[in-house]
């Protein structure tokens, strides 16, 4: 009895059984949100830009960024919309040392992987690398954790360090629009390079699409890769 109580509370310290969004009770240990928040998660529709996978208004095939070649994403899809539920999940995963949430995010991403034909013949998985300072200020590279989880779920090899993030890269979000376009490339040569037909690039969220776009450019420039397809959790 006492052992059971101790065991249970110990488990609760490891995995706090509260919804990360509303602190309500969880309905599954594997899912970090409660049933009502889970039901509010908005899964992406099929009306998305053919290339970057972001939402479109009616009667379009490409978003204006892809149509005007402001970003160079070859194929990307996201699982859910970036809203008040998904953003809390992502922020807890990234900034609150909740690596376990990465398992839930990756399992949602894995379902998308299985549904889209474009992902059926990828050779390996890689991810957006961290810059030097980010690496020393955070617990882990969140994109790397998602890629590791997906590698275990799919059996696909994971390739590290195919590109590197430049040291003094200013985060996209704090740059004004006019400077974002003038900034130097975010990524350079990695520690090693590979030859592959199709590589799957993993990140958590796509907003402007420029991080993915720069990563695709660098992956192809510094490796012999024919096509880079990407998958993110939210957009
Ligand atoms: Zn909740
Ligand atoms: Zn697009």
pLDDT at 1: 43
Task: For residue 22, give every residue at least 6 positions away whose Cβ sits within 8 Å of its Cβ, in sequence order, or none.
Answer: 33, 34, 36, 37
**Rounded CA separation 126/169 (Å):** 20
Residues with CB under 5 A from ligand 2 (ion): 49, 51-52, 63, 66
The domains of the chain are located at 1-40, 43-234
Q: What is the pLDDT of residues 78-113, one digit of tens each?
A: 999 999 999 999 999 999 889 999 999 999 999 999
More confident residue, 193 or 45: 193
- Helices 101-115 and 142-154 pack at an angle, to 10 degrees, of 50
Record the tokens describing residue 37, joined without a space: 């928040």
Question: Where on the phi/psi map is residue 69: left (φ > 0), alpha (ψ -120 to 50), or beta?
Answer: left
pLDDT at 137: 64
pLDDT at 136: 65
Does pLDDT of 204 surpass 70? yes
CA 153 / ligand 2 centre spacing (Å):
28
pLDDT at 5: 46
Does pLDDT of 3 surpass 50? no
Q: What is the pLDDT of residues 213-229, one digit of tens each?
A: 999 999 999 999 999 99
CA 49 / ligand 2 centre spacing (Å):
5
Domain covering 43-234: architecture: 3-Layer(aba) Sandwich (3.40)
High-pLDDT (> 90) share of the chain, %: 74
């Amino acid at each position: 009895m006492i052992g059971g109580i101790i065991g249970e509370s110990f488990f609760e310290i490891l995995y706090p059984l509260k919804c990360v969004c509303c602190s309500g009770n969880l309905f599954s240990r594997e899912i970090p949100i409660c049933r009502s928040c889970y039901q509010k998660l908005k899964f992406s529709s099929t009306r998305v830009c053919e290339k970057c996978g972001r939402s479109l208004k009616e009667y379009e095939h490409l978003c204006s960024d892809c149509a005007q070649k402001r970003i160079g994403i070859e194929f990307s899809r996201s699982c859910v919309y970036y809203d008040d539920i998904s953003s809390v999940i992502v922020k807890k995963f990234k900034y609150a040392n909740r690596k376990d949430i990465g398992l839930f995010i990756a399992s949602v991403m894995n379902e998308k992987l299985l549904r889209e034909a474009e992902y059926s013949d990828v050779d390996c998985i890689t991810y957006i690398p961290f810059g030097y300072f980010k690496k020393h200020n955070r617990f882990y590279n969140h994109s790397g954790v998602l890629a590791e989880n997906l590698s275990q779920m799919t059996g696909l090899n994971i390739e590290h360090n195919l590109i590197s993030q430049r040291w003094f890269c200013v985060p996209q979000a704090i740059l004004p629009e006019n400077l974002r376009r003038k900034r130097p490339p975010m990524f350079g040569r990695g520690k090693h390079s590979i030859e592959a037909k199709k590589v799957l690039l993993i990140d958590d969220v796509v907003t402007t699409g420029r991080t993915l776009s720069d990563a695709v450019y660098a992956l192809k420039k510094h490796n012999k890769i024919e096509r880079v397809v990407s998958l993110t959790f939210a957009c």
